[in-house]
Amino acid sequence: MDDTPRLLFLTDRSERHQRIALRNAPPGVEVQMRRRPAPDELDALLPTVDILVTERNQPVTAAMVAQAERLKLIVRLGSLTHDIAVAEARARGIAVSAQPVSGCIYVAEHVVMMILAVLKRLGRSLHAAPAAGHGREARRTDEDTFAYNWLGYSDLRGLHSKTITILGMGEIGVETARRLRAFAPATVLYHKRMPYPEAVERELGVTHADRDACLARADVLVSLLPYAPETDRSLGADAFARMKPGAALVHAGSGSVIDEAALLDALRAGHLSGAALDTYEWEPLPPGHPLAEYAKAPDANLLLTPHTAGAAEPGAYAGDFDEVTRFLRGEPLRHPAA
C-alpha cells in the first residue's frame, strides 16, 4: 500500500499564488490544491487525505472531520480557529495547528505605519526638516531651549481616539486589528459579508458594521479588499463622498479596487486629508502617472509605496508547510490550537 502522505490545501489564492506556494511543498508529500471546491468534489477528496491545510473562508466542519477517515493533521494558515471543529478533531486524535501567516503580518505592520504616516503628514515633515526653510535663528537646545513645531503645523493627528474602519477583514485585517489595539483608537469597525463571532470580535477589539457606516464614520478607512468583479474600482467618487471631510484612506488591498482618478479629485478638493497606497491599477506605476505626479508635492499627503507592504527578508514566504514538516518529522507543533 502506498504510504505517501496526501495533503489537501484549501485556498482562496489565485493560480499564480498557488504555484508559488507549491514550490515550497515538502518532498515526498502529494499535494492537491483546490480553490473553493464544489461540495461533491470536497466530499470525494476528504476520505483520501492525511493532512488538511486551510486558509480564510475555508471552514473545517464536524461533518468534514467525520468524512476524513485518514486525517491526522489540520493546519489553519492564520490565527483564528473559530470555524474549525477543534473538539471533534481532538476526539479523533487529529492534531490542529493555527499557524500565523508571516506575509499577512508584514502587510499589517505596513498598514499601521501608513496610517500613522498619513495622520502625521510624514511626507511633508520629511521634506521640510532637511530643507530648513524656516528663516529663524537656530539655538543650541537644552531642557528649556527648543523650537517645538518650528513650522507651525496645526493639522497633525494621531491614532489615539480615532475611528478606524476596515473593508476586507481577512487574515491581514485580523492582524491589523491586533496591532491597532495598542494605539487605543476610539473604535475599530469592520465590514465582512459573514461577520466574526462575538468572541472573536472581543478578542480583536473590533465591531462589525455595514459598508456605509464604515465609510461614513471613518477617520481612517483601511482598504484590504481583494480584487473581484464586484470590487473593481468599488472605492470611487460615491464612496469618497460618503466619507466625512478630513478622513484619510490607506489601501493595501488588491490593485484596481481604487478609482484612482476619483481619489485624486477627493484629495485635490480637500475632502480627503490624505491617502497612502501600496497597490495600483497599473503596476509598476508608469512614468508620469497622475498619482505619482501629485505625490511629488510635499503638501499633497499622498504616500505611495511600490507594492512592498508584504516585503520581508528572503525566505519569509516559504513557511506555509512549516507545521506540516514538523508533524512529519515527529516534532511538536509550534502553534497548536488553543
Q: Are 101 and 78 in contact (CB under 8 A)?
A: yes
Q: How many Å apart are CA 206 and CA 40, to the nearest integer?
A: 36
Q: How many Å apart are CA 257 and CA 191, to the nearest integer?
A: 16
**Is domain 104-133+146-304 in CATH 3.40.1710.10, yes or no?**
no
Geometric angle at alpha carbon 154, from 150 and 160, rounded to 5°: 110
Strands (E), the chain: 6-11, 30-35, 51-54, 73-77, 95-99, 163-167, 187-191, 207-208, 220-223, 247-251, 272-277, 302-304
Is residue 329 exposed (0-12), middle (13-18) or buried (19+ Cβ within 10 Å)? Answer: exposed
Per-residue pLDDT of the chain (338 residues; tens, 9 = 90+): 468 999 999 998 889 989 988 998 999 999 999 999 999 999 999 999 999 999 988 999 999 999 999 999 999 999 999 999 999 999 999 999 999 999 999 999 999 999 999 999 999 999 999 988 888 999 999 999 999 999 999 999 999 999 999 999 999 999 999 999 999 999 999 999 999 999 999 999 999 999 999 999 999 999 999 999 999 999 999 999 999 999 999 999 999 999 999 999 999 999 999 999 999 999 999 999 999 999 999 899 999 999 999 987 766 556 899 999 999 999 999 999 98
Residue type at 33 in one-letter notation: M
Is residue 289 exposed (0-12), middle (13-18) or buried (19+ Cβ within 10 Å)? Answer: middle
Q: Which residues pair with 284 in a beta bridge?
A: none
* Fold of the 6-101+320-328 domain: Rossmann fold (3.40.50)
Domain ranges of the chain: 6-101+320-328, 104-133+146-304
User: Which residue, among 134, 166, 161, has the nearest Cα to 147 in the 3D structure?
Assistant: 134
Residue 236 three-state SS: coil
Q: How many Å apart are CA 284 and CA 282, to the nearest integer?
A: 6
Q: What string of DSSP letters covers 151-183?
A: T-------STT-EEEEES-SHHHHHHHHHHGGG
pTM of the model: 0.93
User: Same topology for domains 6-101+320-328 and 104-133+146-304, yes or no?
Assistant: yes
Q: How many Å apart are CA 317 and CA 252, to the nearest integer?
A: 18
Residue found by looking up cell 508571516 in the block: 102
